Amino acid sequence: MTLTDSDDVDIMKHSHGLNDTTDVLVSPKDRMKVEKFAKLRGMGVKLVDHYGRYFDKEVALIIKHDQYRSLQYNSYQDISKHLKTLLKENRRYVKLQDLGTSYEGRVMTLIKISANHGARNPIIFLDAGAHAREWAAPAFAMYIIDQLVMTLNKSETEDLLGVDWYILPVVNPDGYEYSRSDPDNRMWRKTRSKTWREECFGADINRNYDFMWGYRGASFDPCNFQTYAGEKAFSERETRLVRKVMKDNSKRIKLYMSIHSYGEYLIHPWGFTGSYLPDQWEKFNRLAQVYSKAVVNAGGRPFRVMSTGQWYPASGGSGDYAFAVEKIPYTYTLEITDGYQFNYPEELLHTVLPQYYEGLKVMAEEMKRDFPNKG
């Protein structure tokens, strides 16, 4: 069947491209047919029952050509699909690496974006969504990905500021989907793995890394729904997959940033203590100020820059691990959005994400300058 106007199907509006919808009125007896038609073509279907036109029995089907959208909160499935679409449409610039699966079996995909994959440029490694409820973080990671790919498409010569971007947009897909599954689960933070307490699930990914594990600001109680550090360091598959990215690329990764929310903070090691700072703290501070200034220049608010431990000490975080163990020269945690806690309104994403992105671009330029000898 083709989707054309007929006695059975009333197309109220055609799609005008990606992300647009086709809105269709259909009688209940033909509903399945149209739904199947859309699903077979990978289109999303939203059903509005009892649309109330002609007869109250009529049904409207809204067919979305692509469920994924930049600047909205997307499902993990749509995010994964979108990464594949980007690969298909940009084979020169985009590579995908399946890292493995999450505890519940979701495939975790690292996207590598480069103007020249053979050039051995310095790598900026970004991850987001370690904490399930911090939805703004994966949204920002996806925004960055879309912008980088768009930049490469606009100008063949543009070289993404001379760095390669490795991005893992959702570190904790099980938790993310759990937090999306029901309003009651919206505040879920941890993974969804089984623990030795039968009734309690999950560990805090940002307490699960093997540097000063369990030393401060972490819990050993699996029923602690915030900061349970896990049964041991790297007990969580997802944490191990992030480690794998770091280990596989440790020589070339010059900047690692873990994107979280909320509060507008850009924090650097140490996280395990607030009593002292690493020798390099002035470099950390300087680069963070550069980020913050660029955000301000783009019309945003300044970020609060400090060591993580000065904010509040917590050990077993990814930033400390990346710096202390993997020897990545610059590591940060970026806490984005302010004023709405974990429920940053979707319709406001377009106001802040472009500002945050400007900061990253300037950081990339700095990385290129700091590490000119290609890793």
Q: Which does 218 bind (CB under 5 to 8 A by kind): ligand 0X9, Zn ion, none?
A: none
Question: With CB under 6 A as the contact rule, which of the stretches 10-18, 77-85, 144-152, 317-325 interacts with ligand 0X9?
Answer: 317-325
b/e code 122-161 from CB counts within 10 Å (16+ = b): bbbbbbbbbbbbbbbbbbbbbbbbbbbbebbeeeeeebbb
**Residue 103 or residue 265: which is nearer to ligand 0X9 going by CB?**
265
DSSP readout, 279-291?
TTHHHHHHHHHHH
**Residue 76 or residue 371: which is nearer to Zn ion going by CB?**
76
| Nearest alpha-carbon partner for 292 in 364, 340, 363 | 363
**Residue 106 or residue 260: which is nearer to Zn ion going by CB?**
260
Question: With CB under 6 A as the contact rule, which of the stretches 72-80, 111-119, 194-202, 314-322 interacts with ligand 0X9?
Answer: 314-322
Question: With CB under 5 A as the contact rule, which of the stretches 129-137, 147-155, 160-168, 239-247 interacts with Zn ion?
Answer: 129-137
Binds ligand 0X9 by CB under 6 A, chosen from 64, 106, 131, 268: 131
Binds ligand 0X9 by CB under 6 A, chosen from 102, 109, 193, 206: 206
Task: State the nearest-atom distance from the C-beta of 102 to ligand 0X9, in Å.
Answer: 19
Binds ligand 0X9 by CB under 6 A, chosen from 260, 268, 361, 368: 260
List 64's β-bridge partners, or say none.
Answer: 21, 44
Q: Give start and end residues of each alpha helix (H) in the chain.
A: 28-40, 76-89, 136-154, 173-181, 237-248, 281-297, 308-311, 318-324, 349-370
Binds Zn ion by CB under 5 A, chosen from 190, 260, 361, 368: 260
131 binds Zn ion, rule: CB under 5 A: yes
Task: State the nearest-atom distance from the C-beta of 206 to Zn ion, in Å.
Answer: 6
**Residue 95 or residue 225: which is nearer to Zn ion going by CB?**
225
Task: State the nearest-atom distance from the C-beta of 78 to ligand 0X9, in Å.
Answer: 23
Q: Could you tell me if 5 and 22 are in contact, meaning their C-beta atoms sit under 8 angstroms apart?
A: no
Question: With CB under 5 A as the contact rule, which of the stretches 92-100, 125-133, 145-153, 366-374 interacts with Zn ion?
Answer: 125-133
Distance CA 208, CA 243 (A): 11
CA angle centred on 11, ends 5 and 16, rounded to 5°: 115
Task: State the nearest-atom distance from the C-beta of 229 to ligand 0X9, in Å.
Answer: 11
DSSP readout, 25-49?
EE-HHHHHHHHHHHHHTT-EEEEE-
Cα dihedral 23, 150, 260, 237, rounded to 10, equals 90
Question: With CB under 6 A as the contact rule, which of the stretches 167-175, 237-245, 280-288, 313-321 interacts with ligand 0X9?
Answer: 313-321
175 binds ligand 0X9, rule: CB under 6 A: no
Distance, CA of 262 to chain centre: 14
Distance CA 53, CA 11 (A): 13
Task: State the nearest-atom distance from the C-beta of 170 to Zn ion, in Å.
Answer: 13
Q: Is 199 a catalytic residue?
A: no
Q: Which helix (H) or strand (E) holds 226?
A: none
Q: Which does 317 bind (CB under 5 to 8 A by kind): Zn ion, ligand 0X9, none?
A: ligand 0X9
Calculate the alpha carbon distances from 157 to 94, 117, 121, 153, 231 in Å. Answer: 16, 14, 16, 10, 49
Distance CA 81, CA 103 (A): 20
Neighbours of 16 (CB within 10 A): 10
317 binds ligand 0X9, rule: CB under 6 A: yes
Provide the terminal-to-terminal Cα distance of the chain, rounded to the nearest Å.
55
Distance CA 188, CA 200 (A): 12
Active-site choice (177, 335, 358, 366):
335
Task: State the nearest-atom distance from the C-beta of 345 to Zn ion, in Å.
Answer: 19
74 binds ligand 0X9, rule: CB under 6 A: no
| Interface positions with ligand 0X9 (CB under 6 A) | 131, 134, 206, 260, 267, 271, 308, 314, 317, 319-320, 333, 335
Q: Active-site positions?
A: 335
Q: Using CB under 5 A, list all residues that contact Zn ion.
A: 131, 134, 260
